[in-house]
Amino acid sequence: MSTSLFHGLLVLDKPAGMTSRAAVDRALDWFPRGTRIGHTGTLDPLATGVLVLTVGVATRLAEYVQRMEKIYRTTIRLGATSDSDDAEGTITPAPAAELPDRQAVDRVIQQFVGEIDQVPPAFSAVSVTGQRAYRLARRGKELALPARKVRIHTIEVLAYDYPRLELEVRCGKGTYIRALARDIGQRLACGGYVEALRRMRVGPFTIEQAIPLEADAGTAATCSLPLCTAVVGMPRLALTKTEADQLCKGRKLPLAGLKLPVETSDQNIEAAIHDSDGQFVAIAAVDFKRELLRPTKVLAKKALA
């Protein structure tokens, strides 16, 4: 496998007890020295499951994977709190808490479906005055992190036998399941934290596609996914060979005569550009106001060979 030839995405099944960075470092052993590799969304050490890696030119597409919706399965432990909002923190029991019944659980959970304001956990990678929140929290700093808008599409109760509550959560970018567990526990007036967490899906990337860290270079090569997988769901625009070549050289193209993915729009959209051979070659902004197609990311030719 050559550095100049391996470009794509890979789905790992991250084990518990390992940081996402450590998982990437292990995966580096599968590729030639100098191969660029990264991940598209951190999983806590306690968490397991889908960790999407970008290899080679695919590292330039990481932001598009990060925007995709995610599905998690989690076990929340009610009746106690944690300073890290998960089982790895300092646990404080709430012995006087009332035992919530299933009806109360269902009612509270539905309050978190939709667009909500969520305060990230103190032990998180959120930036605070140029430093990561978790570093400040480890030094005992009191943090008052601002709430952020996040979207939770659905929450399904898989099982409930107090103090354990098992959920499946489908959510958008930036949602902290630890914060969700904490907030559900607060609303139920009994406290709660994440006891177990598994990411099942990121966009089209599923746990069934994932390979373990015990895999080898051959498995990694066989299971790699093409660059276009990173832009699944993005409007697709097919160009002629001449048009695609011009765009990939940085030139803007007039929209007139192009078969646009949408008829019109009040806002610019991004489109995945494919050439006449069906090859994914670039991402471009469709500027309806100026009636131009403007390249925003051009993929290196070596990645398309």
pTM, two decimal places: 0.90
Would you call the peptide bond into 95 cis, given omega within 30 degrees of 0 as the criterion? no
pLDDT value at residue 304: 57
Tokens 């509550």 -> residue: 165
pLDDT value at residue 41: 86
pLDDT digits (tens, 9 = 90+) for 174-184: 999 999 999 99
Q: Is 67 exposed, middle or buried (0-12, 13-18, 19+ CB in 10 A)?
A: middle
pLDDT digits (tens, 9 = 90+) for 266-288: 678 999 999 999 999 999 999 99
Read off the pLDDT band of 146 (50, 70, 90). confident
Q: How far is CA 257 from the centre of its chain?
A: 36
Other CB atoms within 10 Å distance of the CB of residue 17: 11
Backbone φ/ψ region at 83: left (φ over 0), alpha (ψ -120 to 50), beta = alpha
Per-residue pLDDT at 303 exceeds 70: no
Tokens 């919530």 -> residue: 100
Q: What topology is assigned to 70-202 in CATH? A: Pseudouridine synthase (3.30.2350)
pLDDT digits (tens, 9 = 90+) for 8-18: 999 999 999 99
Whether 70-202 and 8-68+204-230 are alike in CATH topology: the answer is yes
pLDDT value at residue 301: 65
CATH, domain 234-304, list 2.60.120.460, 3.30.70.890, 3.40.50.300, 2.30.130.10: 2.30.130.10
Backbone angles phi, psi at 167, to 5 degrees: -130, 155
Residue 44 a catalytic site member: yes
pLDDT value at residue 171: 98
At the fourth CATH level, the homologous superfamily of domain 8-68+204-230 is Pseudouridine synthase (3.30.2350.10)
Task: Give the mean pLDDT of the chain.
Answer: 89
**Catalytic hit among 13, 25, 29, 44:** 44
pLDDT digits (tens, 9 = 90+) for 49-84: 999 999 999 999 999 999 999 999 999 999 999 999
